[in-house]
Structure 1
Amino acid sequence: MHRILTKIVTALAAIAALSVAAPAPAQAAESAYFVMTDITREQFVIKLTDPAKIQHARDLVNGETTDRPHVIGRILKRQAPYNPRWSYHLNTDTVDFFDQAIEVCDATIPYVEDHLDEAGGAFLPGLFWCDWTSRLVREVPAP
């Protein structure tokens, strides 16, 4: 029970840190785009600009690591040019990777789309989404 509580507290602390973190100063950053999928086999594109996160994503795609394989981030309820199939995308500044997270942020790609109007309340509080079955499958060129 103590291990479970520790994991929950750790996950909540990570979500809280993401929600209060000040945006990084504007700089000319490389952008990289990755396709993620989940248990539904649907595909969703994420954009990364942080060099360390880009490298981690490339390491995941290339099989060089299995550490923190799942994607977490804050949903923006609007379409992105690089992810046109979906009515939402992840705020690039909040995208990160995780091993385990709390259940309250877990949902599949199509489930988020189908319940987007409910996101931010009891469903995906704070608009944080952490698809437990998410995994990166490939890097794609910029649109």
Structure 2
Amino acid sequence: MPRVFTKAVGLAAIGVLAFATAQPSQAGTTADQPVRAVGAHHAYFVMTDVTEEEFVIELTERDEIEHARRLVQGETTDRPHVIARIIPQPARYNPRWSYHTDPGTTHFFDSATEVCDATIPYVEEHLDEAGGAFLPGYTWCDWSSRLVREIHTR
């Protein structure tokens, strides 16, 4: 019964993430220039996972940035994993990978449903399948993800 409850909560979380972050088409924007409110903050963090590959995420929400900094500094272990909607295009701050995360949808979690779990290189290898049965709604939640450091870009 607890496993069913965990899956139900995970699915609900993905649904809320998809609903809360749904935006109208942004045909005129590029993937590495998401639409932001004037004066929005942003910070960049390196995450890794069980594969030990590194992936850079951009955060734009003040609460998420503060939480990420507490994780990196070892001040908390709550919600250590990254969940976000992926965009199947490279970003200037993460050129090694053919995808990046939408900063407006990037949050942290303790546990999530299995349907969005994949490692960094597995997402890269199966990027053409994302958005369907693999990572529905482009929602990615690497269960083994963890932040390792903050970086500063220009």
Alignment TM class, shorter chain as reference: over 0.9
Equivalent pair of 2:88/2:98 in contact (CA under 8 Å): yes
Which residue is equivalent to 2:68? 57
Root-mean-square deviation over aligned CA pairs: 1.5
Equivalent pair of 2:45/2:147 in contact (CA under 8 Å): yes
The amino acid across from 1:38 in the alignment is D
Gaps of 5+ in 1: none
Which residue is equivalent to 1:101? 112
Q: Any idea what the Cα deviations from partners look like across 1:92-137, whole Å, max 9, x if unmatched?
A: 1110001111111111100100000001111111111000110000
C-alpha separation between the residues in 2 aligned to 1:25 and 1:86? 23
Structure 1 residue ranges (4+ consecutive) displaced by more than 4 angstroms after TM superposition: 22-25
Aligned length: 142
Which residue is equivalent to 1:89? 100
Gaps of 5+ in 2: 24-34
Residue of structure 2 aligned with 1:122, choices 133, 136, 152:
133
The amino acid across from 2:96 in the alignment is R
Equivalent pair of 2:13/2:112 in contact (CA under 8 Å): no
C-alpha separation between the residues in 1 aligned to 2:43 and 2:13? 23
The 1:79–1:25 alpha-carbon spacing in structure 2 relative to 1, beyond 3 Å, is closer
State the Cα distance separating 1:67 from its structure 2 match: 0.2
Please, which moves more after superposition, 19-28 or 123-132?
19-28
- TM-score where L is the length of structure 2: 0.88
Which residue is equivalent to 1:8? 7
